[in-house]
Amino acid sequence: MPSSPSDLAPSRSPPGAEAAARPGYRLVVEEPLALDCGISFGPYTIAYQTYGRLNAARSNAVLVCHALTGDQYVAEPHPVTGKPGWWETMVGAGKVLDTERYFLICANVLGGCMGSSGPMESDPATGKPWGLSFPVITVADMVRAQTRLIDHLGIETLFCVIGGSMGGMQVLQWAASYPERVFAAVPIATAARHSAQNIAFHEVGRQAIMADPDWCQGNYLERGVRPERGLAVARMAAHITYLSEQALHRKFGRNLQDRSALTYGFDADFQVENYLRHQGITFVERFDANSYLYITRACDYFDLAAEYGGALANAFRGTRTRFCSISFTSDWLYPTSENRAIVHALNAVAANVSFVEIATDKGHDAFLLDEPEFFATLRGFLDGCARHRGLETP
């Protein structure tokens, strides 16, 4: 079981030092993984957390796929920040992803920085952090690694694979590559391919990191520094895309921060400036800059149709997986049109698919927030699937 966050080193120490102290499970896979880039990679580590109990029939496992800057601490305090798990609204006893009913698994993605093999970890060949010598990974690689974890846990077929944003990309990849292992799939607020605008925003973030002299061409860990300023700017730019204009207006508008008049300077006069700066500062405490490069790259490279001759429908031909696709009206990062394209492809192969667009002004981040209609939709879908899967009610 996870130890308490207070056992951990202070968050600002070099992340390498913390990694060993991070609570949770580690699976070391000896057999190399054939990566999309052509490299045979291994041994490698998958860090993961589980919640609930696997039933005797091994039929109640739910794989939660995390988003770009998420991790495996879905429903427990984060070991670095001490903040609640990123999906505690959704996951827990009696919640939509009910830990009394389902066995939940979440693995830090390959390339991540919370214990799975990634650029922050040491290359066994050199004993030094991988840095940019870590191979570029794809969403398919992430999913390929996850199959080894699911094998290890003795699970043949996952009851459900679920995730939002980049997590949703993994869901789609699972359903396309391993249809027989996915009973139900819930891609949320996602896309079957990364758009030009999304690539552009990611490129800004990468350039912000690489522009920081403390990035040291990726070798900052060896030098005992971190490109914190660049990473904070990357996070700030990205964070704007996670919120809708309406949400920003509702939350902040042009309200001033702890002052009654403009100061005619470059301090954070406006609440929205203060909020963004805070987002940047807190992010660098828990995230590795090189991981940010690798994981954004994996998103950019994602283009599921391209893997299937250019027609997305081919990715799902013959599938028996039950799909529930969910989008949010004010999400401009992965707008409803992108989610609808997935549904059209599924319809084209007569797949079993529900599609719900949730009305909300909360933007892309709505999938992480308390959205009653979203929860009700998911609960209904999962209940139906559970009945078909023969899972008893808790």
User: Annotated active-site positions, please?
Assistant: 165, 331, 364
- Cβ atoms of 252 and 242 within 8 Å: the answer is no
Kindly state the smallest distance separating residue 298's Cβ from a second copy, in Å: 10
Written as six digits, the tokens of 215 are 């990035």
H-helix or E-strand spanning residue 310: none
Indicate whether 318 belongs to the interface with a second copy (CB under 8 A): no
Q: How far is the CB of 237 from a second copy (least distance, A)?
A: 5
Sequence-ordered list of residues with C-beta below 8 angstroms from that of 218, at least 6 positions apart, any chain = 119, 131, 132, 290, 293
Binding mask 325-364 for a second copy (x = CB under 8 A): -------x--------------------------------
Q: How many CB atoms lie within 10 A of CB 318?
A: 8
* Residues in Cβ contact with 274 at an 8 Å cutoff, skipping those fewer than 6 apart: 257, 268
Number of residues that bind a second copy (CB under 8 A): 56
3-state DSSP assignment of residue 384 = helix
Nearer of residues 200 and 376 to a second copy, judged by Cβ: 200
**Is position 303 an interface residue for a second copy (rule: CB under 8 A)?**
yes
Q: Is 98 helix (H, G, I), strand (E, B) or coil?
A: strand
Closest approach of Cβ 56 to a second copy, in Å?
A: 43
Q: CA-to-CA distance for 121 and 128, rounded, in angstroms?
A: 8
Residue 262, interface with a second copy (CB under 8 A)?
yes
Which of these ranges, 5-13, 96-104, 247-255, 321-329, lies near a second copy under the rule CB under 8 A?
A: 247-255
β-pairing verdict for 33-34 and 40-41: antiparallel
First to last CA, the chain: 23
**Is residue 266 at the binding interface for a second copy, with CB under 8 A as the rule?**
yes
Residues whose CB is less than 8 angstroms from the CB of residue 127 and which lie 6 or more positions away in sequence, other chains included: none
Gap between the Cα atoms of 129 and 234, Å rounded: 22
* Site pattern 187..216 for a second copy (x: CB under 8 A): ------xxxxx-xxx-xx-xxx-xxxx---
Query: Quick check: 232 binds a second copy (CB under 8 A)?
Result: yes
Minimum Å distance from CB 169 to a second copy? 14
Say whether residue 97 binds a second copy (CB under 8 A): no
**What is the smallest separation between the CB atom of 136 and a second copy, expressed in angstroms?**
4
> In which element (H, E) is residue 348 found?
helix 336-348
Angle formed by the axes of helices 166-177 and 139-152, to 10°? 70
Toward a second copy, which CB reaches closer, 106 or 113? 113
Which residue blocks in 161-288 are alpha helix, DSSP H?
166-177, 196-211, 220-223, 228-242, 245-251, 271-286
Of the candidate residues 124, 265, 310, 390, the single one contacting a second copy (CB under 8 A): 265
Q: Is 264 in the site for a second copy (CB under 8 A)?
A: yes
Stretch binding a second copy (CB under 8 A), from 89-97, 173-181, 251-259, 323-331? 251-259
Is residue 259 a contact point for a second copy (CB under 8 A)? no
What part of residues 119-178 is at the interface with a second copy (CB under 8 A)?
Answer: 132, 135-136
Chain positions contacting a second copy, by CB under 8 A: 36-38, 132, 135-136, 193-197, 199-201, 203-204, 206-208, 210-213, 229-230, 232-233, 236-237, 240, 243, 245, 248-249, 251-254, 262, 264-266, 268-270, 272-273, 276-277, 280, 293, 297, 300-301, 303, 332
